[in-house]
Amino acid sequence: MAAINSWRKLCSGLHVSGLLRGYGYRNSSSAGADKTIGFIGLGNMGTHMARNLMVKGHSLVVYDIQSASTVHLEKLGARVVPTPAEVASEATRIITMLPAGPHSSCIIDPVFSNPFPNRGAQPNSIFIDSSTIDSDTSKEMANVAKTKDCTYLDSPVSGGVAAAKSGTLTFMVGGPERQFREIQPLLLKMGSKVVHCGPTGAGQAAKICNNMLLGICMIGTAETMNLGIKMGLDPHLLASIINSSSGRCWSSEMYNPVPGVVDKVPASRNYEGGFGTFLMAKDLGLAQTAASGSGSSIPLGGLAYQIYQMMCSKGFSGKDFSAVFQFLQEKETKDNSTD
């Protein structure tokens, strides 16, 4: 909540700092504007995505609320600006990678709703929101963008930090077909697969479904590995059997939650880095909202949501979501001590 309030405080002043074209308005038809990309949100994912764009020839103008997050990119040649407003004033292709819907709305709403006719996003700008948020918010922001002769595309990603580093992310894009085709080459500089899922909000729908399944699978993998270990099986042996059998899944093979089974994943470094438990809880909350709105039954999704919420309340919010394995072990220890 403190982080969201910080973003809101910052964004409330955007109409003051303004998106004056005098800050550096560039005609979108120029070669320079095509090469310059705006990037807002340089966390675990955004930093690597932005770096890949620079490595592949783009100039970047960047912003993050944590100034320390911009240091590495600045050394590589990115131009760091003090507000999101200045990012929008210097680029016509702007990527946002933020933790949640309130952050995205906080950044994008003031850009488009500024009432002054000489301020606002440059005409024909395309905002590419790679944050994972609810579909309704995406649709609302797209509608506002349209009134300003701009386009908003929801473009969440899958693959995690490892894929962000290697440039092999999957992008799930919702929005107009023409603008999708226009930005597809740009996204392929950060990913290996770019899919047009349909109209605005469809990208978020696909991402929410994927992450609900991921959250469920990780809990199942953690429970299975924990049970096998308690029954005397070596975790490496058990994992190898699962991964050559019908129980095989990404959580067991590529991101196993047991420390030491897979090298260089969060479980093997005390669950640091990776995809935070609080983010998984947030995404499962989005799935709950979507299920209610569509009349869908998701009992396992609901149980998974409760488990990740419980983890957050027990101090696991900042750890990778695969820490559900550690959570289960600690829960067993506590339960056994009270018997």
Q: Is 154 within 8 Å of 175 (Cβ atoms)?
A: yes
Domain of 257: which CATH number? 1.10.1040.10
Q: Does residue 195 share a domain with residue 251?
A: no
pLDDT at 28 exceeding the cut of 60:
no
In tens, the pLDDT along 281-302 reads: 999 999 999 999 999 999 999 9
Q: Does residue 319 share a domain with residue 210?
A: yes
Q: Is 131 within 8 Å of 279 (Cβ atoms)?
A: no
Mean pLDDT over 3-26 rounds to 37
The more confidently predicted of residues 5 and 314 is: 314
What confidence score (pLDDT) does residue 101 get? 64
Domain that holds residue 267: 206-329
Q: Which one of the listed residues 35, 148, 189, 207 is annotated catalytic?
A: 207
In a domain, 334, yes or no: no
In a domain, 119, yes or no: yes
**Whole-number Å distance between alpha carbons of 195 and 169:** 11
Q: Does residue 212 share a domain with residue 195?
A: no
What confidence score (pLDDT) does residue 32 get? 43
Q: DSSP assignment of 41-79, as one string? A: --STTHHHHHHHHHHTT-EEEEE-SSGGGGHHHHHHTPE
Q: Last residue of a domain, which of 181, 199, 217?
A: 199
Which residues, including other chains, have CB under 8 Å from residue 129's CB and lie 6 or more apart? 95, 96, 98, 104, 108, 138, 141, 152, 153, 154, 155, 156
In a domain, 4, yes or no: no
In tens, the pLDDT along 70-121 reads: 999 999 999 998 888 788 888 999 999 987 766 766 777 666 655 334 445 7
Q: Does residue 152 share a domain with residue 245?
A: no
Can 230 be counted among the known catalytic residues? Answer: no
What confidence score (pLDDT) does residue 148 get? 82
In tens, the pLDDT along 266-276 reads: 999 999 988 99
Three-state SS at 150: coil
What confidence score (pLDDT) does residue 113 get? 56
Q: Looking at the 3D structure of the chain, how many domains does it have? A: 2
Cα-Cα end-to-end distance for the chain = 37
Residue indicated by tokens 């024909």: 124
Q: Does residue 52 share a domain with residue 182?
A: yes
Q: Last residue of a domain, which of 156, 177, 199?
A: 199
* Token pair belonging to 263: 């090298």
